[in-house]
Each structure stands twice: as C-alpha cells, then as structure tokens.
C-alpha cells in the first residue's frame, strides 16, 4: 500500500502564537507603553455579576506613574457592580485612525481592578480628564486601578506579542523623587514653558499649539491639547529631578534646532 502520510512540511500546523515581547521583531514593549500612555478611553470587559456573561463597556482612562491603568467609575454602572463581585477585567487600548481599523495598533491588558483612594491617582486622572472634576467627588464615584497580569499587543498586520506585567509597567525603584516632584514640575512647565511643550509635541509628530503637560514619569512626558494627546519619551530614562531638568533643557534645545532647520529656505542653486 502506498504511504498516505503527509510529508513533514505539509503537515497541518496549529494556529500561530504571538511571540513574547522580548523576542518580537519590533519594539513591542515601547509600542505597548506608548498606547498605555496616549489612549484616553477604551473598552472595559468585566464578568457579569448575575450569570458570568462577558460584559464590555466604554470608560475613560489615565495611568499612574508606573503605567498602571486608572479609571473613574460610578457604582451605579453595571461594570462597577461586576468588579465588586469579580475583579478580573481587561482593557482595550486602541488609537484607531484612517482606513482599515485592524491595521492600527491596539493593546489588551488583563488584570484585577480594585478601588483606590490614593491622592496621586486622583490628581493624575483629573489632569488627563479635567471635565471629570465636575463629578469625581460625587459619593457614587470612585477611582479604580487595574493591576496587570498580562498584555497582548497587536501592532498591525503580522505584528503580535505578549507582555508580562514587568514589561508593561515601569520599575519605579529609585524614582521616588520624580513621583514626589511631578505635580510641581507639571505646574511650572504649564505656567512658564508653553513654547517648549509645543516643541516637544511637534517632535513627537503632533504639531500645533495649546499643549499642556498632564503628567510625567521616569520615561517621558504626557501632553494634551483639546482631545489630542502626545507621548514624548526622554532620550534616556531619568530617576531624579536634576536629571529631569537637564533632559528637558536638552530636548528643548534640540527641538529648536530642528525647527529652525525645517524653516530654513531651500538653497536656490546659484553660486
């Protein structure tokens, strides 16, 4: 009888598995952290408290200093009742854009959501969502933080990777001074250095005016103008306020040089 076995190269293969972020052929960690910091609203998936059905809803988002996703939720909402019974949840961060929506990067973060009364959380969330000040202190609202257990990144077609909590979030060891000095630095930059903030945003591919700083951390700046956001990484991570100042000065100087070069007229070719 003829051997009907398929040669190894023709054997049926299983579904493709995303690579760990450390093995991906693109900067999966950088892209995931960019999405975490720049997306202001996303889909929250919880487990229905009555029958366990997956329940998806739209929520506004911010991040803590280390990148932990933050939410402001009403206890009257179904998703809050679900979380009170089962804290397991996931968040979808997607920037969207023109054309096929599946061609744009998106990040799913799974984890456990818990209420938090940390004043820093309130400050960072409201800096990102100023209009939420109107209802943030209502008794039926509360802040939640999602502690990640894993991340799944789709960077567009043929770009997928899984991330650990350590890859999603920043290691804040030694950066206590940055956390403590953040609010003062944010207020100072917004009051006295609007021109520098516009330069930073333009350097990140987001030109225009009206930019304000909503937060900073050891890896970069979070800017916002109207509904637009910009994530601006430092040339190198910083761990203290002195290093932060030096980095911001150098970034502004480099941005001014780049802006001047772009504005320079083209040579006319005449001797």
pLDDT tens per residue, the chain (271 residues)? 455 555 555 455 566 688 999 999 999 999 999 999 999 999 999 999 999 999 999 999 999 999 999 999 999 999 999 999 999 999 999 988 888 888 899 999 999 999 999 999 999 999 999 999 999 999 999 999 999 999 999 998 788 999 999 999 999 999 999 999 999 999 999 999 999 999 999 999 999 999 999 999 999 999 999 999 999 999 999 999 999 999 999 999 998 887 666 665 665 554 4
DSSP 127-149: HH-GGGGGTTTSTTEEEEEEEEE
Cα–Cα dist 217/64, whole Å:
9
> What pLDDT is recorded for position 262?
67
pTM for this predicted structure = 0.89
> What pLDDT is recorded for position 222?
98
List Cβ neighbours of 192 (8 Å cut-off, separation of 6 or more): none
Cα–Cα dist 69/91, whole Å:
9
> What are the start-end ranges of the H helices in the chain?
28-38, 78-85, 119-128, 165-168, 176-192, 194-203, 241-263
Burial of 270 (0-12, 13-18, 19+ CB in 10 A): exposed
> What pLDDT is recorded for position 271?
41
SS3 state of residue 184: helix
């Amino acid at each position: 009888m003829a051997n009907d076995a398929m040669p190894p190269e023709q054997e049926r293969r299983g579904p493709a598995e995303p690579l760990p972020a450390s093995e991906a052929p693109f900067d999966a960690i950088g892209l995931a952290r960019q999405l975490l910091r720049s997306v202001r609203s996303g889909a929250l998936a919880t487990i229905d408290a009555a029958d366990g059905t997956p329940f998806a809803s739209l929520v506004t988002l911010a991040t803590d200093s280390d990148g932990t996703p933050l939410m402001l939720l009403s206890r009257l909402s179904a998703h809050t009742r679900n979380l009170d019974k089962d804290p397991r949840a996931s968040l979808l961060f997607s920037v969207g854009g023109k054309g096929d929506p599946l061609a744009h990067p998106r990040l799913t973060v799974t984890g456990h959501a818990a209420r938090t009364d940390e004043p820093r959380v309130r400050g960072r969330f409201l800096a990102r969502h100023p209009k939420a000040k109107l209802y943030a202190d209502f008794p039926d609202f509360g802040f939640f933080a999602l502690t990640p257990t894993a991340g799944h990144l789709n960077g567009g077609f043929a770009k997928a990777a899984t991330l650990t909590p350590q890859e999603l979030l920043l290691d804040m060891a030694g950066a206590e001074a940055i956390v403590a000095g953040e609010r003062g630095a944010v207020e100072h930059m917004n009051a006295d250095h609007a021109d520098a903030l516009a330069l930073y945003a333009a350097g990140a591919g987001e030109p225009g005016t009206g930019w304000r700083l909503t937060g900073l951390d050891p890896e970069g700046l979070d800017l916002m103008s109207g509904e637009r956001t910009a994530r601006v990484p430092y040339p190198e991570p910083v761990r203290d306020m002195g290093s932060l100042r030096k980095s911001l000065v150098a970034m502004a100087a480099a941005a001014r040089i780049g802006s001047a070069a772009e504005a320079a007229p083209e040579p006319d070719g005449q001797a």
